[in-house]
Amino acid sequence: MGRRAARGLRPAPLLVVITGSESTGKTTLAARLAERYATAWAAEFSREYAAAKGTPLGASDVEPIARGQIALEDRARHAAADAGAPLVFLDTDLASTVVYAHHYYGACPAWIERAAGERLGDLYLLCHPDVPWVADPQRDRPAHRDELHARFQARLAALGALGARVADVRGGWEERERRAIHAVDALLR
């Protein structure tokens, strides 16, 4: 049905994607924004997948991660639409899967790259790596945050050419949330 629902049905909710490199507050921000705007949100599937697998991820894990991310996103979209919410928040999306596949394995399956463009968010909140690193079992490259951030910036520039809006989220935790709210409110206007 595309970005808008069929005649007689509510419009599809706008997609706000919180993205960026590891340990930049994406999950916390997604949950807080969803609470503020009383809507659904989708977690990052790759964290759940990696924890369940229990061994290091490899290139063969990229496709199941992408399929799982799509399923989580679709559930959140449907929940928001069913509730009549104008927004849904995603803690990353397929664009992130593309960035990490290229970063770790040097390539990404073509269908995932195509799907990332087809499932374009309406707004991307790019979290900068200017907050302290917090270690956890799924995070492994604190020294590569700036490199990953540059990859996210490049990917979002390409998505911007397709019509996606991008807003920078930086600063301390309160400043990050303030910037995110400002960008979401502008999208809603």
pLDDT score of 143 more than 90:
no
pLDDT score of 22 more than 60:
yes
What are the structural domains of the chain? Answer: 14-188 (3.40.50.300)
Under a CB-based contact definition with an 8 Å cutoff, are residues 187 and 14 in contact? yes
pLDDT score of 151 more than 70:
yes
- What confidence category does residue 92 fall into, taking pLDDT thresholds of 50, 70 and 90? very high
How large is the angle between the packed helices 145-160 and 94-105, nearest 10 degrees?
130
Q: Return the closest-CA partner of residue 13 out of 58, 100, 76.
A: 76
The conformation of residue 68, written as its DSSP 8-state character, comes to H
pLDDT score of 27 more than 90:
yes
pLDDT score of 116 more than 80:
yes
Confidence at residue 5, expressed as pLDDT on a 0 to 100 scale: 47
Confidence at residue 136, expressed as pLDDT on a 0 to 100 scale: 64
**CA of residue 169 relative to chain centroid, distance:** 13
pLDDT score of 139 more than 90:
no
Name the more confident of 63 and 7.
Answer: 63
Mean pLDDT across 141-165: 84
Under a CB-based contact definition with an 8 Å cutoff, are residues 116 and 94 in contact? yes
- What confidence category does residue 141 fall into, taking pLDDT thresholds of 50, 70 and 90? low
